[in-house]
Amino acid sequence: MFAAQPVNDHHRQVEGLFRLLFGLMTLLLILPMLWIMALLIDRGGPVLSLAFLFSFPTHGMTAGGVFPALLGTIWLVLLSLLASLPLGVAAAIYLSEYARQDHWLTRLINLATINLAGVPSIVHALFGLGAFVLFFRMGTSILAASLTLAIMSLPVIIVSSWESLQAVPWAFRVACWNMGATRWQTIRQVVLPNALTGILTGIILQVSRAAGETAPILFTGAVFFLPFLPTSPFDQTMALALHLYTLSTQVPDVPEALPFGVALLLVGLVLLMNAAAIGFRLYLRGKKRW
């Protein structure tokens, strides 16, 4: 009565074929990344050292290290995160917890967020040049470049935060309201802590994009070479992405391993920041009770 039927064998075969297909598709996505990392490690690994990390470029940037560019990249990422995270999370809270979903303002904000995500980076660069450098008179500075990167990162943070807030069960809110809590108390003490893991996903994506962008910072705050370290957000700075572009296209007689070393350092810095955020997210996820 419970013996396998031919239709069961057919379904099992089809399932096996789809499993194989999806596995091959995943492998095709992973192999290029592994090949790129292997190439960077093979050609750029010998360059990496403490002297390379903590020294200035010398001999027309054909020798020495990348410390100003490394420090400038950290400046840009952290300041852009400080500017975009509160605004993006606040917008997501409004859209998820306060706004009427069928209201014209909600639709307008959603449309603006979608359009902003599709704007090319060079357009963001020109906006940053006109708004922050010229109109607000910040000059070409770390602050102007960071705010430009923050504008670019807002759509990712808003969407990821909104989805995380929506994923919190509605029963949590109802239980808090029945206990006499206000809407803001419910959001601050219940909804946000339970949505924090998803918000961190947006932060991870923001860090990756901010560290690798070149065009926005080229017009707003980054320079090819700086013989000193920036001391305030109103100074100019070097950045790893722009430094890599400069070594690859503008500087003659550069040792072959040097651009690969800078690229490997940039990828490693992004992976390190992402790993820290992912580790914190996993820690918070382990404390959930639902």
pLDDT in tens, 117-165: 888 999 999 999 999 999 999 999 999 999 999 999 999 899 889 999 9
Is the whole-model pTM more than 0.85?
Answer: yes
- 251: exposed, middle or buried (Cβ count in 10 Å: 0-12, 13-18, 19+): middle
User: What is the Cα gyration radius of the chain?
Assistant: 24
Query: Does residue 1 form part of some domain?
Result: no
Q: Please give the average per-residue pLDDT across 252-275, as a whole number.
A: 91
Q: What DSSP designation does 58 have?
A: E
Residues 107 and 221 both lie in one domain: yes
Question: Quick check: is 175 in a domain?
Answer: yes
**4 belongs to a structural domain:** no
pLDDT class of 1 with cuts at 50, 70, 90: low
Same domain flag for 220 and 252: yes
Q: Is there a single domain that holds both residue 57 and residue 42?
A: no
Type of residue numbered 88: G
193-248 per-position pLDDT tens digit: 889 888 888 888 788 888 888 889 999 999 999 888 998 999 999 999 999 999 99
Please report the pLDDT score of residue 288 as a whole number: 67
Judge whether 41 lies within some domain. yes
Residue 100 lies in a domain: yes
**pLDDT for position 60:** 87
Same domain flag for 61 and 154: yes
Confidence of residue 67 (pLDDT cuts 50, 70, 90): very high
**Cα separation of 244 and 224, whole Å?**
10
Q: How many CB atoms lie within 10 A of CB 204?
A: 19
> What phi and psi, each to the nearest 5 degrees, are found at residue 58?
-135, 170
Domain that holds residue 15: 10-47
Q: Which contiguous run of DSSP H or E holds residue 285?
A: helix 257-286
For residue 94, list its beta bridge partners: none
What pLDDT does 137 receive? Answer: 93
Domain count, the chain: 2
Whether 133 maps to a domain, the answer reads: yes
Q: Is the pLDDT of residue 175 over 60?
A: yes
Q: Is the per-residue pLDDT at 103 higher than 90?
A: no
140 and 235 together in one domain:
yes
CA distance 21 to 94: 42
pLDDT, position 290: 61
| Statement to judge: residues 148 and 198 lie in one domain | yes
Q: How confident is the model at residue 10 (pLDDT cuts 50, 70, 90)?
A: confident
Query: For 98-127, what is the mean pLDDT?
Result: 86
176 and 66 belong to one structural domain: yes
Residue 24 banded pLDDT, cuts 50, 70, 90 = very high
